[in-house]
Chains A and B, each alone.
Chain A
């Protein structure tokens, strides 16, 4: 079955090694991810200003492209793209006044009324593939691997947009368990990672990264799993800055959920390009005989 896929900028640049395992894994689960032709930027960071309709246009245009392919749903891998596209879609679906203004302005495009369903891949795995189905297809169960899910904000908020319970999400725990791993719950799994402060002021990001990583570490997690490339960057790459400040800090590797999916489904580990990670996750996998090593 073909599945319309919207990559967004990050998955094509710094997060290529999250995209490849996603496409390969979905293929082995029987879903061919087909990249949306002529996609453009999602608009990044959904604009909450009531009169700032200009910022919705990039998302609307992308959603019109989806309809042109004949699909009625689009799946994303990036939490930011997911959130931005879905919030814009909600405006187009529910706010007729704004919808009309946007449609009138974009007179070169067909009118759009919010009838595409925007899905994050985690949501698709849970609701359309099913964790039982995934469990059946697992070839290399992540036996004994203690993994702590970290959700951040964009997968869960605001209400009506998020893919799971805002305060007590379960989707990544359930995925980890379906893959044979052990989910370690951290109280900070829905705390903010510091987000874009990482660009201009790394101070709060370093502090938050330390708090989040330590909380998982002290609870016995061997690695943390994320579903957002920005969270990944802040939790993985910023560990360098955490270590510079806190000598006693222990590194913990970070996985993108698609990488774990690929490993558990028995796919070639090289598509995950673990060498791109700041904290190399291979020793943890090697320890459990999940990768070949060397």
Chain B
């Protein structure tokens, strides 16, 4: 029989005011399993903890109950105290007589009785507690980062600079992501390439970063500390080891197609490096448009290549990597044009989206930084910007705010005015959301200094007027004056809603992480665990989680990297043993537990036909235990027998 010590805490007056501590001590001390009872004003204080430690040794206790606050507060405190006195920490139980007793009752007599019952039932549980040891899991000291935009790069650099290896997988042929398409960045108007290039170069050269561009994650197995990742390296049809990035192949290639990087406003070749500062600076062949792949003739690039790097027979490769943690940084795309028929986006060449305008502003863009409209190359003198296109519009877009459009529209308007002094800018907005350091000042500066006309209201239709030089007629409303507005514009820029990148849903399925209704990856807790997914060891950052601007993305990336490093830096992963276990004698291998487990911690062993528990993934939620029809699934130190004894004690 166990020698149990019970320590009753007053918690100042929090407990003592409603619970008669003296009475509790008196009753509990008569309990046959209790060898020692004592009360104290603050059990969690150092003297309080010392009382426990001393009693364990002096009274030869082999079980400890602290009747105090909720275990979410001090369970770990007391467990550590018990362990330091040499007792197994799982021979400690926390009886909650504060939140579930003194705080919710007024009548001292009934509260006292309840406190006694709570303690007694906890004694019954403790009597059957096993001594457990923490579960240790080895950790592969390597991280996988999916997505090579600013978010993925920052996370990869932080981890790599902490001394751990990183595999960075990017689906396009070069890193930099959306940021590499931007011209200048708000609110300081830094040139995006100038601040981005040092980072892309650092990633490209970092000894701890293995960069796999033009690659995609094909499959993921395993669990925290021990992921096995299969990566598909798509065929570029160019041997990148031989290629020097000289660009002769692209120069001579006869095929021109609209460039994805230039948002289809400028051409690229069928063999191409997307932009001059690309890292790695290696070309790929677009086999859908390459003459050789279509007709079997040409091979001009092969003839031009001084190093013989062109390889039309190159096959895709599969690479396997073992990693301990994964960071998802898959970024965003803009809502497709099908959703906004009334604005003629996709029909009229001079109705463009925000990223297209970035390319028009960019010194390395299709117009070399001169603002020329796509239809005829004229400099537009009247430009209308429309905010919230598809954002905050549940009817035929997205209900959420895309967050960075207010700022980039103000930036666009300002940069346009810097370039075209006699131009007129109109901005249609619902609200101006400029929360952020220096953001509001930036917007005000644009409005006041550059005389940009902000009109509060939505645009109902944009159409081309055939009578007047093909001007775009914009119909809108100014809700502050209540007037309908018609503007004959030369160009219209739509701030389209930001949506998750293509393929994120499929990736999420492979990673066994969840996405929200719109396809953004769900965080474990919106406030307290915003950098983690619900799957242990997988973290998220950047626009994969929701639209956000560069400063926020970079901050989140460093946060996610820090979370990942807390795992990588441990010698072994130590996990709480209070999880599910299987009685192998009873288990029939029906597999119900596998179906109900939300954490993918239960698995049917094909050979033994027994449902096993993956101790690294199990969180001890108990779903499988209540679902198990044969009582083979048990919860360690929370068995059905213990629960029944606790109930018997109370009723």
Residues of A within 8 A of B (CB): 159, 165-168, 187-188, 218-219
Residues of B within 8 A of A (CB): 340-342, 347, 395-396, 461, 463-464, 466-467, 473
In the complex, A159 Cα to B394 Cα: how many Å? 12
Q: Are B466 and A218 in contact (CB under 8 A)?
A: yes
Per CB-CB distance, the 10 closest pairs between chain A and chain B, nearest first, are A187-B463, A168-B341, A167-B341, A167-B342, A219-B466, A218-B467, A218-B466, A165-B341, A187-B461, A187-B464
10 A-B pairs in the complex with CB atoms less than 8 angstroms apart: A159-B395, A167-B340, A167-B342, A168-B341, A187-B461, A187-B463, A187-B464, A188-B463, A218-B466, A219-B466
Instruction: Quote the shortest CB–CB distance from B346 to chain A (angstroms).
Output: 9
A167: which B residues are within 8 A, CB to CB? Answer: 340-342, 396
In the complex, A180 Cα to B533 Cα: how many Å? 57
In the complex, A219 Cα to B396 Cα: how many Å? 29
Q: Are B466 and A168 in contact (CB under 8 A)?
A: no
Instruction: Quote the shortest CB–CB distance from A26 to chain B (angstroms).
Output: 30
B347: which A residues are within 8 A, CB to CB? Answer: 168
Residue of A nearest to B475 (CB): A187
A165: which B residues are within 8 A, CB to CB? Answer: 341
Residue of B nearest to A191 (CB): B461
Residue of A nearest to B461 (CB): A187
In the complex, A265 Cα to B347 Cα: how many Å? 32
B340: which A residues are within 8 A, CB to CB? Answer: 167
Main secondary structure, interface of A, reads loop
Main secondary structure, interface of B, reads mixed
B463: which A residues are within 8 A, CB to CB? Answer: 187-188
B342: which A residues are within 8 A, CB to CB? Answer: 167-168
In the complex, A166 Cα to B338 Cα: how many Å? 11
B461: which A residues are within 8 A, CB to CB? Answer: 187
B473: which A residues are within 8 A, CB to CB? Answer: 187
Residue of B nearest to A165 (CB): B341
A187: which B residues are within 8 A, CB to CB? Answer: 461, 463-464, 473
In the complex, A165 Cα to B337 Cα: how many Å? 13
A159: which B residues are within 8 A, CB to CB? Answer: 395-396
In the complex, A165 Cα to B339 Cα: how many Å? 10
Instruction: Quote the shortest CB–CB distance from A190 to chain B (angstroms).
Output: 8
In the complex, A187 Cα to B343 Cα: how many Å? 10
- Given contact pairs A168-B341, A168-B347, A219-B466, enumerate 7 new A-B contacts (beta carbons under 8 Å): A159-B395, A159-B396, A166-B396, A167-B340, A167-B341, A187-B463, A218-B466
A166: which B residues are within 8 A, CB to CB? Answer: 341, 396
A218: which B residues are within 8 A, CB to CB? Answer: 466-467
In the complex, A188 Cα to B460 Cα: how many Å? 12
A219: which B residues are within 8 A, CB to CB? Answer: 466
Instruction: Quote the shortest CB–CB distance from B160 to chain A (angstroms).
Output: 48
Residue of B nearest to A220 (CB): B466
Instruction: Quote the shortest CB–CB distance from A246 to chain B (angstroms).
Output: 16
B395: which A residues are within 8 A, CB to CB? Answer: 159
Residue of B nearest to A167 (CB): B341
In the complex, A166 Cα to B342 Cα: how many Å? 9
Most B CB contacts (10 A, CB to CB) among A159, A168, A218 go to A168
B341: which A residues are within 8 A, CB to CB? Answer: 165-168
Instruction: Quote the shortest CB–CB distance from B398 to chain A (angstroms).
Output: 16
Residue of A nearest to B337 (CB): A168
Most B CB contacts (10 A, CB to CB) among A166, A187, A218, A219 go to A187
In the complex, A187 Cα to B463 Cα: how many Å? 6
In the complex, A218 Cα to B467 Cα: how many Å? 7
A168: which B residues are within 8 A, CB to CB? Answer: 341-342, 347
B467: which A residues are within 8 A, CB to CB? Answer: 218
In the complex, A230 Cα to B416 Cα: how many Å? 47
Residue of B nearest to A188 (CB): B463
In the complex, A167 Cα to B395 Cα: how many Å? 12
In the complex, A209 Cα to B121 Cα: how many Å? 83
Instruction: Quote the shortest CB–CB distance from B219 to chain A (angstroms).
Output: 38
Instruction: Quote the shortest CB–CB distance from B339 to chain A (angstroms).
Output: 9
Residue of A nearest to B465 (CB): A187
Residue of A nearest to B395 (CB): A159
Residue of B nearest to A189 (CB): B463
Instruction: Quote the shortest CB–CB distance from A74 to chain B (angstroms).
Output: 29
B466: which A residues are within 8 A, CB to CB? Answer: 218-219
In the complex, A191 Cα to B342 Cα: how many Å? 11
B396: which A residues are within 8 A, CB to CB? Answer: 159, 166-167
Instruction: Quote the shortest CB–CB distance from B586 to chain A (angstroms).
Output: 46
In the complex, A159 Cα to B341 Cα: how many Å? 14
A188: which B residues are within 8 A, CB to CB? Answer: 463
Instruction: Quote the shortest CB–CB distance from B489 to chain A (angstroms).
Output: 14
Instruction: Quote the shortest CB–CB distance from A6 to chain B (angstroms).
Output: 30
In the complex, A218 Cα to B342 Cα: how many Å? 20
In the complex, A72 Cα to B342 Cα: how many Å? 34
Residue of B nearest to A169 (CB): B341
In the complex, A218 Cα to B434 Cα: how many Å? 43
Residue of B nearest to A187 (CB): B463
Residue of A nearest to B462 (CB): A187
Instruction: Quote the shortest CB–CB distance from B360 to chain A (angstroms).
Output: 25
Instruction: Quote the shortest CB–CB distance from B458 to chain A (angstroms).
Output: 14
Instruction: Quote the shortest CB–CB distance from B92 to chain A (angstroms).
Output: 55
Instruction: Quote the shortest CB–CB distance from A182 to chain B (angstroms).
Output: 15
Instruction: Quote the shortest CB–CB distance from B639 to chain A (angstroms).
Output: 46
In the complex, A166 Cα to B396 Cα: how many Å? 10
Residue of A nearest to B463 (CB): A187
In the complex, A168 Cα to B396 Cα: how many Å? 13
In the complex, A168 Cα to B346 Cα: how many Å? 11
Instruction: Quote the shortest CB–CB distance from A95 to chain B (angstroms).
Output: 20
In the complex, A181 Cα to B86 Cα: how many Å? 93
